[in-house]
Every structure is written in C-alpha cells, then in structure tokens.
Amino acid sequence: MKKFAVFGNPIAQSLSPTIHQMFAEQVGETISYEKILAPVDGFVGAAKAFLAQEGAVGCNVTMPFKLDAFNLAKVDDQAAKDAQAVNTLMNSINGEVLGYNTDGVGLVNDLLNSGVEIEGKRVLLIGAGGAARGVISPLLKAGAASLTIANRTKAKADEVATAASNPKVQVVALEDIASVAPHIIINSTAASLSNELPCSLEDGVLQHCEVVYDMVYKNSPTRFMRDAAELGVKTQIDGLGMLVEQAAEAFYIWTQKRPDTSDIVKRVRVIVE
Ligand code: ATR
C-alpha cells in the first residue's frame, strides 16, 4: 500500500488525512495517510525515517517545518524556491527527496474555481509570514498587475518583498493600504482566529475591492469577511478551498492523478462546521 503522512507540531487539528483519503477513494487508490507529530527540533530525522519505509511515497509538511523541509529536499519547484518553504516531499525513483510548495497553486486554483479573475488585478496581501511567502510567485504567475504586502511589523514585509525581488512586489504601511486601491485583498494572517481584523477596511480601502480572501477557514465567515460584505465587497472567500486545492496538487505530484475537488470541498466543509 502507498504510504503518506503529514508532519507538524501541533498536528492533531490537521484535515490532510481526511482530504487525501477522499481523493484516494475518488480515484480508486488504497492509501495510508497518517498524522505525525515531530519534535520541534526533530523534523529531519522523523521525515527521513518515514520516507525510508517500504511503500512511502511522500509526505506533507506544515507548521513549523516548512523551512526545514526546504533545506532537506532537492528543490526544483520555482514556487518552493521563491517561498524558501516546502509543504510537499516525495521520494524520487533515484532515491532523492524532492520538495515542492503547493500552497500558492492552491490559493490561485481556489480563486479561479470561485470565478475570480486575477489577471491585471491589484492584489493587497496582508501578512508577511510563511503563508504570505508561499503565495507571492503563484499570484504573479497568474497575472496579478501588482502585489503589495502590508504587515503589522513592516520590516518583515520589506524582507519578504526584497526576497521576492520583482518590481511588481511592493510594500505599504498598514495605515496606507487605501493608496493601493486593491481589487483583491488576501488575509494571510491568523488575526481571524482571534476575531480580529488584520487591517482597517475603512477610509476608502474597499473602494475598488471586488474580492476578499481569508486563508483562515474556521468560524467562517470570519469578521474580516463579514465586515467586507457589509461594506459592499461582492465576494468573500475563506481558506477551505485553498486547503483542499493545495492537497490536490500534492496528490497529483505523488500519483499523477488529479482529483475533482468541488465535491470534496463541500464534504470537508461539513466536517469543519
Ligand atoms: P504563517 O506561517 O502562518 O504566516 P507566521 O510566520 O507566524 O505564520 O506569520 C504570521 C503573520 O500574521 C505575520 O505577518 C504577523 O504579523 P507580525 O509580523 O507583525 O507578527 C501576522 N499577524 C498575526 N496576528 C495578527 C493580528 N492579530 N493582526 C495583524 N497581523 C497579525
């Protein structure tokens, strides 16, 4: 049987085993997919031990191990290189461990599935952590006209933008986000988990805004989504579709089979709610 796993710390909350079992059932594969809690300083050993097992195909990697996974793997995937973070590892035929980052593709595919046009749009990205890093190059690849990062700690946004090294990537102070006149605002922070807004939605910030996207999927609609709706933004999307799409991309990398995600997002939503 093909073996998979997800590594994190904490990991109990992970929906990845459920999602991948749904994919496997849909495409007629029998797999095992376990959650593995690795010690904070013990990811590399744990991942290598898993991948050395007979039948191990690959694994997902979540907080706080994405940089460790990047350092462990051979990385050709541009999104992973740009993000300096890997969320998917795979044993190659010649014994190497390959690393990919499917988070950004997951976000872009979810936006496109939801009918959102990215091409030519001004995107405002709130937050400058690992979640933000992972989505920058895929959003630019999808044709965003500009991508402006705003973060509570501005120096971190500057660092992320410098690393992206693309003239379309800019930084703005959180107080000045209205100057971006964004069409799409993406919240990559965890502010919604504590019912906080990641940024002000007042003072013209939403004047041109068509879509707000919150990477958080718990307690959806989040305050960020609800307030944006009240202030007239037509489309609000939570991160559940991104979670399923990043998993689908990983499943495709491992099996060369692409699951139909629409039905699965609905089934996972029932579990989350
Ligand atoms: P992740 O890998 O999930 O992105 P992270 O690297 O810890 O997690 O980054 C969290 C991001 O959310 C940071 O940009 C953080 O802002 P700071 O750099 O100022 O810490 C942002 N963040 C977290 N809680 C927030 C809140 N309540 N309001 C605004 N930004 C918040």
Q: Which residues line ligand 1 (CB under 6 A)?
A: 127-132, 151-153, 156, 188-191, 196, 198
CB-count exposure of residue 52 (10 Å: 0-12, 13-18, 19+): exposed
Q: Is 1 helix (H, G, I), strand (E, B) or coil?
A: coil
pLDDT at site 73: 98
Query: Is residue 121 flagged as an active site residue?
Result: no
pTM: 0.95
pLDDT at position 273: 87
Q: Which helix (H) or strand (E) holds 2?
A: strand 2-8
Predicted local confidence at residue 244, as pLDDT: 98
Q: Which residue has the least CA distance to atom 7 on ligand 1?
A: 129
CA nearest 122: which of 186, 187, 176?
A: 186
**Ligand 1, atom 4, residue with closest C-alpha:** 129
Domains along the chain with CATH numbers: 2-101+243-272 (3.40.50.10860), 104-238 (3.40.50.720)
What is the average pLDDT across 34-61?
98
Contact (Cβ atoms closer than 8 angstroms) between residue 124 and residue 150: yes
pLDDT tens-digit map of 157-190: 999 999 999 999 999 999 999 999 999 999 999 9
Distance CA 42, CA 38 (A): 6
Average pLDDT over the chain, rounded to whole? 97
CA 205 to chain centre: 24
On the question of pLDDT at 130 being above 90, the answer is: no
Question: Which of 189, 192, 196, 224 maximizes ligand 1 atoms within 8 Å of its Cβ, making it the mutation to test the pocket?
Answer: 189
CA distance 76 to 65: 19
pLDDT of residue 226: 98
Q: Which residue has the tokens 């709706």?
A: 229
The Cα-based distances of 176 to 172, 179, 201 in angstroms read 6, 6, 11
Q: Identify the residue whose tokens are 């590892």.
A: 89
Percent of the chain with pLDDT over 90: 97
Residue 118 has pLDDT above 90, yes or no: yes
Looking at residues 127-144, what average pLDDT do you find? 94
Contact in structure between 239 and 6 (CB atoms under 8 Å): no
User: What pLDDT is attached to residue 82?
Assistant: 86
In sequence order, the 6+-apart residues with CB closer than 8 A to the CB of 78 are 137
* Distance separating alpha carbons of residues 45 and 143, to the nearest angstrom: 39
150 in a labelled binding site = no
Please give the order of strands across the beta sheet that includes 31-37: 31-37, 2-8, 56-61, 88-91, 97-100, 74-75
Q: What is the mean pLDDT of residues 224-250?
A: 98
- Residues 90, 57: contact at Cβ < 8 Å? yes
Q: Which atom of ligand 1 is nearest to the CA of 188?
A: 4
136 three-class SS: helix
Q: Which member of 2, 35, 48, 66 is catalytic?
A: 66
Specify the pLDDT at position 5: 98
In sequence order, what DSSP letters do the residues of 159-182 get, joined into one string? HHHHHH--TTEEE--GGGGGGG--
Q: 189: CA distance to ligand 1 center in Å?
A: 5
- The predicted-structure confidence for 256-273, as pLDDT tens digits, reads as follows 999 999 999 999 999 998
Tell me what ipTM this predicted complex has: 0.96
Taking CA atoms only, the protein residue closest to ligand 1 atom 8 is: 129
Please say whether the beta carbons of 100 and 80 come within 8 A. yes
